[in-house]
Amino acid sequence: MNQLKKLLIIGFVWPEPKSSAAGGRMMQLISIFKENGFEITFASAAQDSDFMVDLAEFGVIKRNIELNSSSFDGFIKELNPDVVLFDRFMIEEQFGWRVIENCPKAIRILDTEDLHCLRTARQKAFKENINFELIDLLSEEVAKREIASILRCDVSLIISEFEMDILKNVFKINETLLFYLPFLVEKMDEEELQKLPSFEERKNFVFIGNFLHEPNWNTVQYLKEAVWPSLKKNFPEAVLEVYGAYPSQKVLQLHQPKNGFFIMGRAEDANEIVKKSRIVLAPIRFGAGLKGKLLEAMQCGTPSATTSIGSEAMHANLPWNGFIEDNPEEFSKKAIALYQDENLWKQAQKNGITIINGCYQKSNYSAQLISVVNSLLIDSESHRLHNFMGNMLQHHAFKSTMYMSKWIEAKNK
C-alpha cells in the first residue's frame, strides 16, 4: 500500500465556491488530490468569511497562518508536505522562499487561476481607450512578477489554452513547466436536459458574477448603459436580474425596477437561479482565464450571450451555446432572438453539452495531473536542474523577498 502523500495548499483566500469561479476551481483541485489519496491541509492568512466552505466536510485540515512570520517555518517543518500548491503568484512570492528553506524537496505547484498580467494589461488598455496587443505584456510590471513566479515553481496550472500559447510563444517558457488544466466537470448527456426546466418554464435574462472582480462590475455597467436601453426598447417586457457576491453601493444604485433592471445581490444558489432563467447575458469587455459563469450556464441548460473576450478559449472550434457578439446593438438584437425563438434556444442548449463533453470532462485531465505530480515526486532533481532560469530567479529574487519579509517581521515586533 502506498504511503499517504501530504499536500499543503496555501490559499490567497478561503474557498467560496458559491461566490466565485476561483472558489469552485479550488474545490475541483481539492477533489482531484483527495480522490488520489493525498492528505490535504489548507492554510491561509486571510480572514475567515461568512461564505467560506467548511473544509472539514471535505476531509481537509484548516490552518490559519500569518504573513511575514517565522511561525510559518515551524508549521511547515512539522507538516513536512510532499507537495505545496500556491494559490496565485502573490502567495508564491510571499511564502515560496520559506517553503524552499524549510522543505526543499517538496514539489511546488502554482495555480495561476488566470494570467493576472493579461487581465491587468487588458484592463489598462480598455481604460486608456487603446487597442491591446500581446506585445504590451512584455512591459507590464505584473508580468515580470508573475512570470518569475511561474519559472520558480516546478509546474504551473494554466486554465486557458490561449494563456498557454502566450506563455510559450510570448514569454518563451518551457512547456515542461506548464500544465493545461481547465475547469473540470462531469460528462453530460442530452437526457439530462429533459430533467431541467423547459423553454416555457423559464423566464428573464440573468447575469451572475462576484463584484470584487473588476471585469464583472464593468460588465454590469456596460449592460446598463449600452445594451439594456436598446434591448428594452425592442422588447419592452424584458427583465434582467443581476446577482453577485459583495455588491458595493455603486452596484446597488443601478437597481431600476421600472426599467426591468433588478440588482438582486448575492445568489444563495446560483445553479437554481440560472436553471430558471432563459438567457445568461455576459458582455464581458476585458479579463483573462475562463469564465465560470458561462460554463455554469451550459451545465444548467441555459444559453448565453457573450463577447469574444467572454468566450475566449472556452469552446475550441465548437459552436457556442448561444451567440458571441461585440457590438452592443447587435448583441441586444441577438439576445432578443435567442430569448424568443425556441428552436434556436434548444440548439444552443445542445451546443453547450457538446462543449462540456469536448472541453471540460474531469476524466480527461485529473489522471494526467496526478501522473505529472508523481513523476516530479520521483525525480524532481533532474526537472529542476534543467530549469536554470528558475534556479537563478530563486537565488536572486528570494534573497530580496526573504530579507524584506524578515525586516517586516522584526519591525512588527
pLDDT (0 to 100) of residue 113: 92
**Mean pLDDT (whole number) for 140-144:** 94
1 pLDDT above the threshold of 50: no
406 pLDDT above the threshold of 90: no
pLDDT (0 to 100) of residue 5: 96
**Mean pLDDT (whole number) for 106-113:** 97
363 pLDDT above the threshold of 70: yes
**Mean pLDDT (whole number) for 337-350:** 98
At 85, is the secondary structure helix, strand, or coil?
A: strand
**Mean pLDDT (whole number) for 75-89:** 98
40 pLDDT above the threshold of 50: yes
Q: Are residues 70 and 133 in the same domain?
A: yes
**φ, ψ dihedrals at 10, nearest 5°:** -105, 110
In percent, how much of the chain has pLDDT > 90? Answer: 85
In percent, how much of the chain has pLDDT > 70? Answer: 96
Q: Are residues 313 and 407 in the same domain?
A: no
Q: Are residues 199 and 325 in the same domain?
A: yes
pLDDT (0 to 100) of residue 18: 85
Category of 374 on φ-ψ map: left (φ > 0), alpha (ψ -120 to 50) or beta: alpha
Q: Are residues 29 and 135 in the same domain?
A: yes
Calpha distance 18→198 (Å, rounded): 24
Q: Are residues 93 and 242 in the same domain?
A: no
Domain end call among 360, 383, 401: 360
350 pLDDT above the threshold of 90: yes
**Mean pLDDT (whole number) for 301-322:** 97
pLDDT (0 to 100) of residue 371: 97
Quick one: which of 85, 151, 140, 84 has its CA closest to 116? 140
Domain end call among 343, 360, 377: 360
Residues with Cβ < 8 Å from 46, sequence gap 6 or more?
11, 12, 13, 14
pLDDT band at 392 (very low <50, low <70, confident <90, very high): confident
Domain count, the chain: 2
Q: Are residues 325 and 394 in the same domain?
A: no
pLDDT (0 to 100) of residue 400: 66
Residues with Cβ < 8 Å from 132, sequence gap 6 or more?
121, 122, 125, 126
Residues 246-296: pLDDT tens digits? 999 999 999 999 999 999 999 989 999 999 999 999 999 999 999 999 999
Where helices occur in 56-157 by DSSP H, the ranges are: 71-79, 89-102, 116-127, 141-152
Q: Are residues 241 and 253 in the same domain?
A: yes
**Mean pLDDT (whole number) for 204-230:** 95
326 pLDDT above the threshold of 80: yes
Q: Which cell numbers in the block locate residue 316?
A: 475550441
Domain end call among 316, 334, 360: 360
pLDDT (0 to 100) of residue 331: 98
Domain coverage including residue 52: 5-184+362-412
Q: Are residues 135 and 151 in the same domain?
A: yes
| Greatest extent of the chain over all pairs of C-alpha atoms, in Å | 68
pLDDT (0 to 100) of residue 403: 67
Q: Are residues 259 and 269 in the same domain?
A: yes
Q: Are residues 228 and 341 in the same domain?
A: yes
Calpha distance 82→376 (Å, rounded): 10
pLDDT (0 to 100) of residue 380: 92
Q: Are residues 37 and 145 in the same domain?
A: yes
Taking all residues of the chain, what is their mean pLDDT, rounded to a whole number?
Answer: 94
347 pLDDT above the threshold of 90: yes
**Mean pLDDT (whole number) for 319-333:** 97
pLDDT (0 to 100) of residue 393: 82
**What's 91's domain CATH number?**
3.40.50.2000
Q: Are residues 18 and 103 in the same domain?
A: yes
